[in-house]
Amino acid sequence: MTFPVVGMVGGGQLARMTHEAGIPLGIRFRLLSDTPQDSAAQVVADVTVGDYRDLDTLRAFAAGCDVITFDHEHVPTEHLRALEADGIAVRPGPDALVHAQDKAVMRTRLAEIGAPCPRNRVVTDPADVQRFAEEGDGFPVVLKTSRGGYDGKGVWIVRSAAEAEEPFRAGVPVLAEEKVDFVRELAANVVRSPHGQAVSYPVVESIQVDGVCDTVIAPAPGLPDELSARAQRLALTIAREVGVVGHLAVELFEVRGADGSSEILVNELAMRPHNSGHWTMDGAVTSQFANHLRAVLDLPLGDPRPRAPWTVMANVLGGDYPDMYRAYLHCMARDPGLKIHMYGKDVKPGRKVGHVNTYGDDLADVRERARHAAGYLRGTIDE
Ligand SMILES: Nc1ncnc2c1ncn2[C@@H]1O[C@H](COP(=O)(O)OP(=O)(O)OP(=O)(O)O)[C@@H](O)[C@H]1O
Ligand SMILES: [Mg+2]
């Protein structure tokens, strides 16, 4: 067999969908998963159950793989350096990935690159948060643990120094940022291969509810061409400067300047397939998952262009209604164009358990179809 073995660390839905994208290419896929029940572990044949924080486990797993890539950002950077020193192809490599692992490192590097960011600095304690507020426009201030956050966990909006105790409890550095009064959130998604080829997807609008991504609209409605091009150039520049291999999501804030013109600020970076790119599974010629695999294997990248004028992705969150399969009957009968992607996860309130994609010519219609299906699957819409 000459087909390569891709080793994926982490058994979540991103691994599951990356595996799915590799099947038509005959790519062999190995998984390092926390448990046999994880989303990807349910569907991948070659699974190692083990702890990604343990170097020996990582070494044994990587020994059978041509390249290692990730479903999450939490593998200790020093372990990745050790694997590289062993001669393992780690993609993205630790020198790039650290910018998605550590928000303080990311902010320092983005400033060097000249990427526009919210005012920010590392703060040492609540009194220092007070000083940070006074250096700018006062409270509220956004505090983020530099490592370990996801889905808004690890992000606090505080209105006083007294409210700023909790973020320091984790014992990791805390980053303070001005609270950006954004018009909306955008994401610029690019994929870069080791020899430097890169592709850029249309810039999307990403709508969060309670700190969790709810809806993504591709392309971002009403985004001026100039700003879209600037966001894509910025993402490509970051990918090159940081040395990203694979998919890079640049989460952005769109802000209104004093003269009424739109500007962008970088919120954060993710170096793996990303929720803001799930629309590409049905809405782009090549999905983010297929392009991530091509990139980590240093294959030529696929066409990132959209297949329809509009694609909308809506996340399906766990609700009170555990039997989502029953809801298929109604959703599929109502909308034959609906694309459902479920992750095999137990339904727990607020947990991402799947997403739906819809696409077409009329944005209002495409959006309504996605909203309806996600709500019906969750059980918040019953007609
Ligand atoms: N400086 C800021 N000003 C205003 N809102 C912010 C700021 N930073 C973060 N937010 C809000 O909090 C959300 C989560 O922040 P961030 O993306 O840094 O956290 P995360 O938990 O690491 O990410 P994710 O939800 O992407 O896993 C953002 O999408 C945005 O809605
Ligand atoms: Mg984020």
Asked if 172 and 196 sit in the same domain, the reply is no
Asked whether residue 53 carries a pLDDT value surpassing 90, the answer given is: yes
pLDDT tens digits, 196-231: 999 999 999 999 998 899 999 999 999 999 999 999
Mean pLDDT to the nearest integer, 337-364: 96
Q: State yes or no: 103 annotated in a binding site.
A: yes
Shared domain check, 325 and 289: yes
According to the model, what pLDDT value does residue 211 have? 85
- Residue 295 CA to residue 273 CA, distance in Å, equals 12
- Distance of CA 179 from the midpoint of ligand 1 (Å): 10
Whether 204 maps to a domain, the answer reads: yes
Q: Which atom of ligand 1 is nearest to the CA of 208?
A: 31
Kindly report the CATH number assigned to the domain that includes residue 158. Answer: 3.30.1490.20
Q: What is the CATH number of the domain that holds 203?
A: 3.30.470.20
Identify whether residues 169 and 40 lie together within a single domain. Answer: no
> What's the confidence (pLDDT) of residue 383?
84
73 lines ligand 1 (CB under 6 A): no
Residue 289 lies in a domain: yes
74 and 173 share a domain? no
Q: Are residues 209 and 168 part of one domain? A: no
Which ligand approaches the C-alpha of residue 212 most closely? 1
329-356 per-residue burial string, b: 16 or more CB within 10 A, e: under 16: ebbeeebeebbbbbbebebeeeebbbbb
Q: Which of 320, 306, 312, 322 is nearest to 373 (CA)?
A: 312
> Do residues 63 and 130 both lie within one domain?
no
Question: What does pLDDT average to over the chain?
Answer: 96
Give the residue, by CA position, lying nearest to ligand 1 atom 16: 152
Q: Of the residues 70, 90, 110, which one is the last residue of a structural domain? A: 90
Residue 211 CB less than 6 A away from ligand 1:
yes
Q: Is the CB of 95 under 6 A from ligand 1?
A: no
Q: Which residue puts its alpha carbon closest to atom 2 of ligand 1?
A: 179
Q: Give a yes or no: residue 112 inside a domain.
A: no
pLDDT band at 1 (very low <50, low <70, confident <90, very high): low
Residue 96 resides in a domain: no
Q: Are residues 341 and 205 in the same domain?
A: yes
Same-domain pairing of 215 and 267: yes
pLDDT digits (tens, 9 = 90+) for 108-125: 999 999 999 999 999 999
Residue 172 and residue 142 share a domain = yes
Q: Could you tell me if the CB of 149 is within 6 A of ligand 1? A: yes
Per-residue pLDDT, averaged over 156-185, amounts to 96
For the chain, what percent of residues have pLDDT higher than 70?
100
102 Cβ inside 6 Å of ligand 1: no
| Ligand index nearest the alpha carbon of residue 117 | 1
Query: How many structural domains comprise the chain?
Result: 3
308: CB partners within 8 A, 6+ apart = 283, 359, 360, 361
Contact 301, 199 (CB under 8 A): yes
Whether residue 149 has pLDDT greater than 80:
no
Q: Is the CB of 154 under 6 A from ligand 1?
A: yes
Residue 107 placed within a domain: no
185 assigned ligand-binding residue:
yes
| pLDDT for res 153 | 85
**Which tens digit of pLDDT belongs to each residue from 67-107?**
999 999 999 999 999 999 999 999 999 999 999 999 999 99
Pair (76, 152) in one structural domain: no
Q: 189 and 173 in one domain?
A: no
Same domain, 78 and 134: no
Question: How many angstroms separate the alpha carbon of residue 185 from the centre of ligand 1?
Answer: 10
pLDDT classification of 55: cutoffs 50, 70, 90: very high
The CATH number of whichever domain residue 33 belongs to comes to 3.40.50.20
Pocket test for ligand 1, best of 74, 144, 155 (most atoms within 8 A of CB): 155
Structural domain for 22, as ranges: 5-90
Residue 201 included in any domain? yes
Domain for residue 234, yes or no? yes
- Of 178, 197, 229, the last residue of a domain is 178
Sign of CA dihedral 257, 263, 265, 270: positive
Look at residue 366 and tell me if it is in a domain: yes
